[in-house]
C-alpha cells in the first residue's frame, strides 16, 4: 500500500536506512544497487512512509512543491521500522538475478502465482526466504517467500507476498 494523501519529500532517517539495509541484505545486495537518491514521503498522521529513488532531473521541481502525491521510482514503504518492497522494485532487482538467488516458476506456476495462490510443484529454481519471483522468460512477476514445508520429502512452496495481479485487484 502507498500513501493516500499528499506529502513532502524528506531524507531517510537512520532507522529508515537500517530497515532498508535489512531488506537488501536478505537478498544479498547493497542499497546502492537499487537507488542513488533516496527520499521518503512524509505525510501528516501517516501510518507509513513511501520510499522513492528520485531522478536527479526532478529535484528542483519536487523541492519547490508544497505537497506531492507521488513521484520518481517507487521502491516500497516503511512501516514500524520494516521495509515492504513495491512491485516496481522487481524490475531493478531482477536484473541481478544472475548473481543473487531468485525463484523461477514454470508457466503453470506463473499463472497460479498471478492469481495470488500458493505454488507447489511448478518451481524451476528455488531458494528459501523473500525472493523475486520470475517466470520462464526471466520476467519478474512478484515478490514471494520460498518455504520448505517438509525437508525429508523436499516439499517446497512459494507463498505470494505481492504479485503483478495487484494492478488489477488493487491498482485502481
Partner 1 sequence: MGINLNESEKENKIFSYEISNEAKSLAEKYGYSDYIVERYIKLLGEEVIDLLEFNEIPMPQTIRCNDFLVSCDELEKRLKNKGIKIQKIPFLPHGYEIIESPYNVGATHEYLMGYYYLQDPGSMLVVYLMNPLKNSFIIDMASAPGGKASQILQLTKDSVKLVSVELKKARIKALRSNLQRMGFSSYIILETDARKLSLKNSDMILLDSPSSGEGIIRKDPKRKSSRPRSDMRKIHLLQYQLLNKAIDIVKPGGEITYAACSTAIEEGEFVIDRVLNKRNVDTIKVDSPIGDKAYEEFNGIVFDDRVKNCIRLWPHKHGTEGFFICKLRKEEN
86 binds partner 1 (CB under 8 A): yes
DSSP state of 34: T
What is the residue whose three cell numbers read 517507487?
A: 74
53 binds partner 1 (CB under 8 A): yes
Helix (H) or strand (E) holding 148: strand 140-150
Judged by CB under 8 A, the stretch of 26-34, 65-73, 95-103, 117-125 that binds partner 1 is: 65-73
Helix (H) or strand (E) holding 21: helix 14-27
| DSSP bridge partners of 123 | 105
87 binds partner 1 (CB under 8 A): yes
68 binds partner 1 (CB under 8 A): yes
Sheet-wide strand order for 73-79: 8-10, 38-42, 49-53, 73-79, 82-85
Smallest separation (angstroms) from partner 1 to the CB of 67: 8
What is the residue whose three cell numbers read 514521503?
A: 41
Smallest separation (angstroms) from partner 1 to the CB of 7: 11
- Binds partner 1 (CB under 8 A): choice among 15, 28, 47, 69: 69
Judged by CB under 8 A, the stretch of 20-28, 40-48, 60-68, 146-154 that binds partner 1 is: 60-68
Q: Are 143 and 131 in contact (CB under 8 A)?
A: yes
Helix (H) or strand (E) holding 112: helix 107-114
Would you say 48 or 156 has its CB closer to partner 1? 48
Q: Which residue in 114, 95, 48 sits closest to 76, CA to CA?
A: 48
- Binds partner 1 (CB under 8 A): choice among 14, 80, 152, 171: 171
- Give the per-residue contact string, 4-43, with partner 1 (x = CB under 8 A; - = no): -xx-------------------------------------
- Binds partner 1 (CB under 8 A): choice among 49, 94, 112, 135: 135
149 binds partner 1 (CB under 8 A): no
Amino acid at each position: 500500500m502507498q500513501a493516500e494523501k499528499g506529502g513532502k519529500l524528506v531524507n531517510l532517517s537512520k532507522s529508515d536506512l537500517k530497515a532498508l539495509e535489512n531488506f537488501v541484505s536478505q537478498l544479498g545486495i547493497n542499497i546502492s544497487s537499487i537507488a542513488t537518491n533516496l527520499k521518503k514521503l512524509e505525510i501528516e498522521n501517516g501510518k507509513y512512509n513511501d520510499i522513492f529513488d528520485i531522478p536527479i532531473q526532478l529535484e528542483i521541481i519536487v523541492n519547490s512543491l508544497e505537497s506531492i502525491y507521488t513521484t520518481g521510482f517507487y521502491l516500497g514503504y516503511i512501516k514500524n521500522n520494516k521495509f515492504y518492497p513495491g512491485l516496481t522494485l522487481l524490475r531493478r532487482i531482477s536484473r541481478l538475478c544472475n548473481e543473487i538467488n531468485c525463484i523461477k516458476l514454470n508457466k503453470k506456476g506463473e499463472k497460479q502465482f498471478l492469481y495470488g495462490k500458493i505454488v507447489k510443484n511448478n518451481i524451476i529454481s528455488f531458494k528459501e526466504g523473500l525472493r523475486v519471483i520470475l517466470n520462464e522468460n526471466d520476467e519478474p512477476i512478484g515478490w514471494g517467500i520460498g518455504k520448505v514445508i517438509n525437508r525429508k520429502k523436499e516439499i517446497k512452496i512459494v507463498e505470494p507476498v505481492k504479485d503483478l495481479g495487484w494492478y488489477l485487484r488493487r491498482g485502481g
